[in-house]
Amino acid sequence: MNFFYILSSKRIKQALIILFASLFTASIFYIEKGNISPVFSTENGPRVIYTGEKSEKTVALTFNISWGDTKALPIIDTLKKEGVKNATFFLSASWAERHPQIVERIVKDGHQIGVKGYDYKNYTELEDAQIKKDIYKAQDAFKKMGVKTVSFARTPDGNFDSRVVKVLDSLGYTLIHWSIDSNDWNNPGVAIITSNVLDKVKGGDIILFHASDSAKQTADALPGVLKGIKSKGLSFVTVSDMLNNADVKSEVVE
């Protein structure tokens, strides 16, 4: 009888281990797909930020730019026309070097600049030293341009894992993800881009847009998106302001 209970205990432990491992794997896959539902916030250790405090009536508009010179200005013009002066642009430093006039316009209009590395690389495939080299190169590029950046980053191609987050943290950067993906880069149509945002948006959301040349419909979709957000009683803030004034939601990375 005792032997039976020992075997049962072992099997239960094995089953629990398998269950927890499966749940962990599933959660990682879910995060990597970009469909993020924040679990908790923490002040300890490297973390990835997905949203601000949900009780706040603010949202953060973020735009990624890695290449191209035709779509960024129309988007910036639209933001200005709609009275939005506090978006956050995550710029590839190599792109910024090639388009200093656009960078200057972003800053002049009151927007914030975050780091998106230098070259378009997958950090998960690089050694720690290579990641640091790319970030240092980006820092030097922005410094030479006289551009003040914040201590927020996104990886060049959007890929990251726990090791990448820890490397960025060691350099003083917090990785900013998003809670709403407009999917504008896929050019699904203005109506779909608009519904992708407005059907889900609520206070504390960090919204992902693109201003590279691949985002052919973003400028046309923005007026409706911005008006819709305002109609919900929400206002716009930079990522810095959102995180400074709220209890942010994040995923700790171990």
pLDDT tens digits, one per residue of 198-218: 999 999 999 999 999 999 999
Helix axes of 190-198 and 218-231: crossing angle, nearest 10 degrees: 30
pLDDT for the residue numbered 14 = 52
> Helix (H, G, I), strand (E, B), or coil: what is residue 176?
strand
**b/e code 100-139 from CB counts within 10 Å (16+ = b):** eebbebbbeeebbbbbbbbeebebeebeeeebeebbeebb
Average pLDDT score over residue span 168-173: 96
Band (pLDDT 50/70/90 cuts) for residue 6 is very low
Task: Please tell me the distance from the alpha carbon of residue 36 to that of residue 38, in angstroms, as a whole number.
Answer: 6
Average pLDDT score over residue span 129-133: 98
Band (pLDDT 50/70/90 cuts) for residue 43 is low
Locus of tokens 């008006």: 227
* The two three-digit tokens of residue 62, written as one number: 């973020």
Mean pLDDT of the chain: 84
pTM (2 decimals)? 0.80
Band (pLDDT 50/70/90 cuts) for residue 25 is very low
Flag whether pLDDT at 246 surpasses 70.
no
pLDDT, tens digit, for every residue of 88-109?
Answer: 999 999 999 999 999 999 999 9
pLDDT for the residue numbered 47 = 85
Q: How many C-beta neighbours within 10 Å does residue 74 have?
A: 14
pLDDT, tens digit, for every residue of 77-86?
Answer: 999 999 999 9
The beta strand positions in 86-140, using DSSP E, are 88-91, 112-115
pLDDT for the residue numbered 245 = 66
Average pLDDT score over residue span 147-175: 94
Of the listed ranges 1-5, 11-15, 114-118, 134-138, the one predicted with least confidence = 1-5
pLDDT for the residue numbered 45 = 65
pLDDT for the residue numbered 39 = 26
pLDDT for the residue numbered 254 = 53
